[in-house]
Amino acid sequence: MICCDVYKGNDECKKLFNKLDNTCNDESVHNPCEESFNYGKINKSFIPQLKNIFNILKRNKIQNDKYINVMNLGGYDPCVYYKYWFYYKIINNNLETNDIKEIKNIWNVNIEGIYSSILGKWCNFYAKTLDDVKIMKVLYDHIFIFNDKQNNPNLMEKIKKCEFCKHLKEYLNQTFKKRPIKCSDSSPYAFCMEYNNHLKEFFKLDEINNLSCEGSENDSHYPSQVNSHEQVIEEGKTDMGNGVSQLPISEKNSPAITLPGNAQDNDLSTNNTVICTSVVGVSSILFLLYKVYKNVFQKEQSTIK
């Protein structure tokens, strides 16, 4: 889904993701893509993404952060960016929770061959459900794309004003049974493992425990995904001959994405992206509806005359 690709709002992330997408397209005699990885029982259509991520991790280890060291992305663990990219691939391939469990098993098998020594830091995949992936992906959206480190460095201040806040709290309430969040080193929860190894650089658990949602912001966190007023009117041209209005009420143009009920596997039905409500987007759609029905009314009046 194009609406999920909010990383394109950050030029450095966009360049990095493009490099990672072409990991095995840019191979050469001196830089081949390893073919001997184990892909378990995962759907064949997802194997190219697994092939990419395992070769990314292998090259990163051997060639000293080859994908990251030329980027101006901050001094974070490269693993964070690689997993952020991989979360996008999982979501865009419409995988399910059973697939996530299989990916975790496949990852654990192959990672031992990449990091042959127990010394050093491994890049591990902690997600156990599709909801784990979705929540992590949107958290990293806020960390890398939406957070204004100069004017508003407090990540939780940004999140609590966004629609995503209530979905984050619902996920955490289900995970921790509405108890205070504590992440010991031996915690079995995907959120805690991600936090202990990566997320603690960006926020403290006390901030999560005290998180109080304040509703949606007037300005969307996804401004590039909401069409301008002129674009909405252009896309809303009416086929008067058939009496059918071609309204741009699709996922890519909608100012907000709501969540369906709980899925069959009892996971949170968190959408691929959680878009904060945009007043500009709503106004555009209302104006469009006004124009459409005004034209229909005028045509009916001229017919009567």
Instruction: Give the pair of three-digit tokens for residue 135.
Output: 């929540």
Q: What is the mean pLDDT of the chain?
A: 74
Q: For residues 249 and 145, give the distance between their C-alpha atoms in angstroms, rounded to a whole number.
A: 25
CB 144 within 8 A of CB 84: yes
- Does the pLDDT at position 28 exceed 60? no
- Which amino acid is residue 190, in one-letter code? A
Structural Rg of the chain based on CA atoms: 22
What is the pLDDT, as a whole number, of residue 51?
94
Q: Give the model's pLDDT for residue 224.
A: 40
Contact 40, 172 (CB under 8 A): no
Cβ neighbours of 152 (radius 10 Å) = 11
Q: Describe the crossing of helices 190-197 and 164-176 by its angle, rounded to 10 degrees.
A: 110
pLDDT tens sequence across 51-92 = 999 999 998 888 877 787 767 666 788 899 999 999 999 999
- 176-207 core/surface letters (b: 16 or more CB in 10 A; e: else): beeeebebeeeeebbbbbbbebbbeebbeeee
Q: What are phi and psi of 72, to 5 degrees?
A: -95, 75
Summarize pLDDT for 93-114 with one digit per residue, the tens: 999 999 999 999 999 999 998 9
List the beta bridge partners of residue 31: 28
Instruction: Give dist(CA 20, CA 67) in Å, integer.
Output: 8
Task: Using alpha carbons only, give the angle 47, 49, 55 rounded to the nearest 5 degrees.
Answer: 100
Tell me how far apart the alpha carbons of residues 257 and 37 are, in angstroms, rounded to a whole number.
37
Query: Does residue 6 surpass a pLDDT of 70?
Result: yes
DSSP string, 145-207: II--TTT---HHHHHTTSTHHHHHHHHHHHHHTTSPP---TT---HHHHHHHHTGGGT--HHH
Domain ranges, ordered by start, for the chain: 2-146, 152-215, 223-304
Residue 70: predicted pLDDT: 63
Choice between 155 and 280, residue whose per-residue pLDDT is larger: 155
- Top mean pLDDT of 32-36, 71-75, 132-136, 243-247 is at 132-136
Tens digits of residue pLDDT in 199-245: 998 999 999 999 999 865 444 454 443 333 233 223 333 333 333 33
